[in-house]
Amino acid sequence: MSVFNVELKKIVDDSYEVEIGINLMDKLIEDIKNGLVGGINKFAIITDDIVEPLYATRIYDKVKACGYKSDLFVFPAGEKSKVRAVKEQLEDAMLAREYRRDCCVIAVGGGVVSDLAGFVAGTFGRGVPFINYATTHLAAADASIGGKTAVDTDLATNLIGLIYQPKKVYVDVKTWETLPMAHRINGMAETIKHACLADYELFEYLENNFQKVLDCDEEACIYISEHNCNVKYQVVMKDEKEKSLREILNLGHTVGRAVETVSDYRLLHGEAVSIGLVAQAMLGCKLGFLTQEECDRTIALLKSVGLPVAIPDYIDREELVKKLYTDKKVRDGKLRFVFQKGIGDVMQFGDDVYARPTAEDEIREIIEKL
């Protein structure tokens, strides 16, 4: 009998830049020409049917004008497209147009585009480089940074995927001007979440300046984007693979994701997360993790921005409770919640433990109140 020891120790540098600014398309092209993805000259631009005419086609034209091969791959906008079937369709379309391992994926759009395109890039040819060009507040605050990619299934949310870092992220706040007001409001939820868990200064700024953000004031949008990026950077840098600390970025998402799914996506992601933030704040207040004043202040900010703070009547409460168990933080069949500690910090329940096992009765009581 022979035994071979296959040593595969690696030092991998997945560092990348997040550039925040105004009208960054030409900067994207300049970076590509200057070797952002090496000598690659084939670019698969993945987007949805809303972003396609607004921004993706313009990027496609600029890429083509430089002499590169490029194609647009477009899917229907919305969370319902974030599934394995659509990923498969994108992959088949790329193969049919002779894309192989010598290509780069450019994701142009919001969170669904980022999640899908990043997942495609991470598995296509066993991994090809990709670039994120975020066109929504929600994507800029959350999905485009950190390398999380995934699809949803009927049984679980974001459990089929991988962590795969982009070569660069462009946060073009000018694109927020074309968002309907409902989507500008929707994007505020993840920013408020970051403020609640790690940035008191940002929380105060939002209390006093949220209308400027909704009005797409460039200075305000850049300010919150920089703070969002810093919060995510500080967490992802320490725990890229979500072994412990990175769970704190799921603040409000246990109930939020369940509400979003049970609503059959009538609620936007940020709207659902807002309700989830209220649920954890109320339960956290009851458990002594934040004062009643801090709880009220958190809910007041969400409400002032225009986000929902109660579960819609059309959502079945029992179905919602069952859906909680599909959350990725569940361990050994037990619910686990991340809680804010006051405003600007999170609870820690032991060495590298940031989620607390939570009895079903505890959260059921809060859900009934909401």
Which of these CATH numbers, 3.40.50.1970, 2.60.40.420, 3.20.20.70, 3.50.50.60, describes 17-178? 3.40.50.1970
Q: Which residues contact 5 (CB under 8 A, 6 or more apart)?
A: none
Confirm if 324 and 254 have CB atoms less than 8 A apart: yes
Is it true that domain 181-369 has CATH number 3.40.630.10? no
Least confident of 24-28, 61-65, 85-89, 323-327: 323-327
Residue-range domain boundaries for the chain: 17-178, 181-369
pTM score of the predicted model: 0.91
pLDDT at 246: 83
| pLDDT tens column, 175-214 | 999 999 999 999 999 999 999 999 999 999 999 999 999 9
Using CB atoms within 10 A of its CB, is residue 23 exposed (0-12), middle (13-18) or buried (19+)?
exposed
Question: In whole angstroms, what is the distance from residue 89 CA to residue 177 CA?
Answer: 31
Over 80: is that where the pLDDT of 347 sits?
A: yes
Percent of the chain at pLDDT exceeding 70:
99
Common-topology check for domains 17-178 and 181-369: no
* Mean of per-residue pLDDT scores for the chain: 94
| pLDDT tens column, 13-32 | 788 899 999 999 999 999 99
Positive or negative, the Cα torsion across 325, 234, 122, 189?
A: positive
Which H or E run contains 231? helix 218-238
